[in-house]
Chain A
Amino acid sequence: MRIGVFVCHCGSNIAATVDCPSVAEAAKLFPDVVFATDTMYACSEPGQDGIIQAIKEHRLDGCVVASCSPRMHEPTFRRALERAGLNRYMLEMANIREHVSWIGKNKELNTGKATELVRIAAEKLRLNTPLFANQFDVTKRVLVIGGGVAGIQAALDCADAGIQVIMVERETSIGGKMAKLDKTFPTVDCSSCILGPKMVDVAQHPNITLYAASEVEEISGYVGNFDVKVRRKATYVNWASCTGCGLCMEKCPSKKSHDAFNEGVATTTAINIPFPQAIPKKAAINPEFCMKLQKGKCGVCAKVCPTKCIDFEQQDTIVSEKVGAIVAATGYDLFDWTVYGQYGAGRYPDVVTSLQYERMMNASGPTSGHIQRPSDGREPKRVVFIQCVGSRDKSVNRPYCSGFCCMYTAKQAVLTKDHIPDSDSYVFYMDIRSPGKGYDEFTRRAQEQYGVQYVRGRVSMVYPKGDVLVVRGADTLAGTQVEVEADLVVLAVGVEASKGAAHLAEKLRISYDQYGFFMESHPKLKPVETNTAGVYLAGCSQGPKDIPTSVGQGSAAAAKVLTLFAKDKLESDPQVSSVNQNRCVGCLKCTMTCPFGAIKDVKDRAGNTKAEVIETVCQGCGICTVTCPHGAIQLQHFTDNQILAEVNALCQPELEF
């Protein structure tokens, strides 16, 4: 190999404390170095031209540039090499500015150090090989998992940009939690009035295929080329012909079915359409409560259905879709509040969750918007809200803040006053967290204008007394114990990742935290990306957030998808791992430690298992290289031998110069 060394003065940035000419002089004695010089500004036009000229003149195969940090100018010098006809990976840099001249004043020591850094770089370069990027096609279709407001936003943005969207929603209707809400803070506008049109857009958009009552069964492939299998769960109704007329619901005799949409505040029929604005507006049978499916008797719905679409024999089906990107927007679920036995949750009917309360206030809810006590239907005159139930509480392993409970509690207290003008509301809180446009003003209005009583402190217990509930807690501001008699207690239950989120994350090969929330690639700089290329996050699946932020993230995820799809072909970075199939014994340990699922198992001709790196997925971390005891999988550009050459360059005693 013929190596050229260029030692940059960086004006006086380097030259002031490093004897650059003598570094270059010393480098001439290194193995394979045929040319070495010092240069004023290597990165400048003339500096780069000098490098290019030297490459041509001295028929160099590779260059060491000793200058600033490679994090700064590696791309610059790589381009210069390319312009001279060399492969960009035939460059090594020695960082003699940030790591030498700027941090030490002793010129002799600095010069020695700089020389050794050049030596390391040259030794590594001797083992460099040209690397070439691979190109591959992109399937310009996107899968959106979860049809809450975040997923809806992402889907509509992509669809409007002309991208085919596959939306998979677990429930029989999209809309997520927002569809259940009555009004939304801080503007107190009707939730379904703003969400409804968007849901309709999803249904009508020519670019969106909606699979409701469906879940992702399996995902394989990689960015640009995912293969997805979707399980369409049996609804026992042929949706192609169901018109959503609702006749079946009227006649179904099983009227005590669990009503998930109404959070169990009321019951519904075994065959039902969850709410009037449902999208798709199709009936589905809940087999647990269907008398025909349970006992073989009934079948009333099949008789009344005008389009004859009831099918008791229906089975789950699997459909396959090819997509190039995935947006995970599976939202949240409420924490299991029954662990708070001291609040009587689950035992006293008049202790309800915040989401149940939303349904009780909602004009299209089971009580038509009249707030009633579940126990006796009486209108409550005094409502007590308890915040942070399952949030900021280490004792139940929920140390985090659920973010929006302070705000919706204020909203619910305000709405309570609107519904029942002669009512009083109390809020037990830890801190009021209302950072957001118009948010703090809103919580103040609740207190000042609506007279909501805020008590700072934790509630220790709730117990029944006659037909009211006594809420006992501390008022930490007054330093006293307080007891409030309440007709109704609303728990602001904290949120956690939606059920099965961790399971889905495994399929997506993305990380999730201990609460099941999906992990973004970088907490600040890559909030909607994941560590799996081509998989993006939106909404509460990544962590608690309110509607505006969820929508913003939906759009952000869509922007990422569109950016990805802006190219017809993707290029993979060649600094990836590669398996020497002769050495590989097929133990697949590397597949266990690779964080990106970038290694698959293949069979060689003799039928032996071997590892193979999917170049487009590999991120080039090299975790696998250390995992493999046989050194069979080597990270290109950072192979064992390359790093060993650097170590040996530093640590071998014969290296006197």
Chain B
Amino acid sequence: MSARTGVLTEGRELRIVGFLCNWCSYGGADTAGVARFEQPTDLRIIRVPCSGRIDPLFIMRALVSGADGVLVSGCHPRDCHYAEGNYYARRRLELLKQFLPITGIDPQRFEYTWVSASEGARWQDVVTKFTNRIHDLGPAPRMQGGSGYDELCLKQIEEGVKQGAACPCHKERAL
């Protein structure tokens, strides 16, 4: 029925997960709705009380499980309903952002930003730009397969042996 994860055909949706704080950004998304600011439909929003509630591992979990993009939005610095939540969030999320490239996951697939409850137009802009960005990147690669010597692995070993390479388990030994 709806567009499926990871399958890109013309006009199909990609899987984009949003984590929004209740007080500012969720309100901002509401404001955008009230103003009928049209946006791409891919984004699915998960509401949390505060950006300080957003564990970077939620984002990691989403990306590992098949999200093509994750967008986080909270109150602007100094405006946190809980005074300090977004300050902690900023530190945690920034580290995640800087860490992502080493995993091979494109850091462009994750973004965090600040949108207040009144900034409906800004929210529209953020969603549109982010969704377009994810579509430009296309579906995210997925970690596949089971653990250990599953079929995929055996196939690779077979190929490796054919080409005269050693068992893949030892090839990085000297790193």
What is A's interface to B at a CB cutoff of 8 Å? 26, 69-72, 95, 97-100, 102-106, 108-113, 115-117, 120, 511, 519, 521, 531, 575, 593, 595-596, 619-623, 625-627, 635, 638, 640, 643-644, 646-648, 650-653, 655-657
Contact = CB atoms under 8 A, between A and B. Distances in A.
Given A105-B38, A623-B85, A643 B29 contact: no
Contacts, number: 156
B71 to A, nearest CB: 13
A621 B52 contact: yes
A656 B65 contact: no
A622 B52 contact: yes
Contacts of B5: 651, 653, 655
A622 B2 contact: no
Interface in B27-51: 27, 29-30, 32-34, 36-41, 44-50
A595 B84 contact: yes
A651 B65 contact: yes
A511 B83 contact: yes
Contacts of B85: 595, 621-623
Contacts of A635: 49, 53
B22 A643 contact: no
Contact of B33 (A102, A106, A108, A652): A102
B66 interface: yes
Contacts of B50: 621-623
Among B6, B36, B92, the most chain A Cβ lie within 10 Å of the Cβ of B36
Contact of A622 (B37, B41, B49): B49
Given A109-B3, A113-B2, A656-B4, A650 B67 contact: yes
A651 B30 contact: no
Contacts of B46: 120, 643, 646-647, 650
A653 B58 contact: no
A109 B33 contact: no
Interface in B52-78: 52-55, 58, 61-62, 65-67
B82 interface: yes
A640 B55 contact: yes
A103 B39 contact: yes
A533 to B, nearest CB: 12
Given A71-B27, A623-B82, A647-B17, 14 more contacts: A71-B22, A99-B30, A104-B40, A108-B2, A109-B41, A113-B41, A519-B83, A593-B52, A595-B84, A622-B85, A623-B53, A638-B49, A651-B15, A653-B5
B102 interface: no
Interface of B: 1-6, 13, 15, 17, 22, 26-27, 29-30, 32-34, 36-41, 44-50, 52-55, 58, 61-62, 65-67, 81-85, 88, 92, 124
Contacts of B37: 103
Contacts of A646: 46
A103 B44 CA distance: 13
A71 B26 contact: yes
A104 B50 CA distance: 27
Contacts of A108: 2
B27 A647 contact: no
Contact of A653 (B30, B38, B45, B66): B66
B34 A70 contact: no
Given A99-B45, A103-B39, A106-B41, A626 B55 contact: yes
Contacts of B13: 109, 112
Contact of B83 (A100, A595, A656): A595
Contact of B88 (A104, A115, A120, A593): A593
Contacts of A72: 30
Contacts of B62: 647, 650-651
B48 A653 contact: no
Contacts of B41: 100, 103-104, 106, 109-110, 112-113
Contact of A644 (B26, B30, B52, B58): B58
Contact of A97 (B2, B33, B66, B92): B33
Q: Which 6 A-B pairs have the closest CB atoms?
A: A112-B2, A98-B33, A622-B53, A621-B82, A651-B65, A623-B52
Of A69, A627, A640, chain B has the most CB atoms within 10 Å of the CB of A69
12 contacts: A70-B47, A95-B47, A103-B36, A104-B40, A111-B2, A519-B83, A623-B53, A623-B85, A626-B53, A626-B55, A644-B58, A651-B5
- Which of B46, B47, B67 is the most central at the interface, judged by chain A CB atoms within 10 Å of its CB? B47
B48 A69 contact: no
A643 B48 contact: yes
B2 A95 contact: no
A531 B84 CA distance: 10
B41 to A, nearest CB: 4
B72 to A, nearest CB: 12
B15 to A, nearest CB: 7
A371 B133 CA distance: 71
A332 B158 CA distance: 78
Contacts of A106: 41
B1 A112 contact: yes
Q: Most B CB atoms within 10 A — which of A595, A621, A640?
A: A621
A652 B66 contact: yes
Most buried by A among B2, B6, B124: B2
A120 B34 CA distance: 22
Contacts of A70: 47
Given A648-B65, A650-B44, A98 B34 contact: yes
A402 B103 CA distance: 51
Nearest to A594: B84
B142 to A, nearest CB: 8
Nearest to A621: B82
A621 B23 CA distance: 11
Contacts of A97: 33
Contacts of B58: 643-644, 647
A640 B34 CA distance: 31
A116 B44 contact: yes
A11 to B, nearest CB: 15
Nearest to B82: A621
A581 to B, nearest CB: 21
Contacts of A100: 41
Residue with the highest number of chain B CB atoms closer than 10 Å, among A110, A575, A622, A651: A651
Nearest to A519: B83
Nearest to B29: A99
Contact of B38 (A103, A115, A621, A626): A103
Residue among A97, A116, A595, A619 with the highest chain B CB neighbour number at 10 A: A595
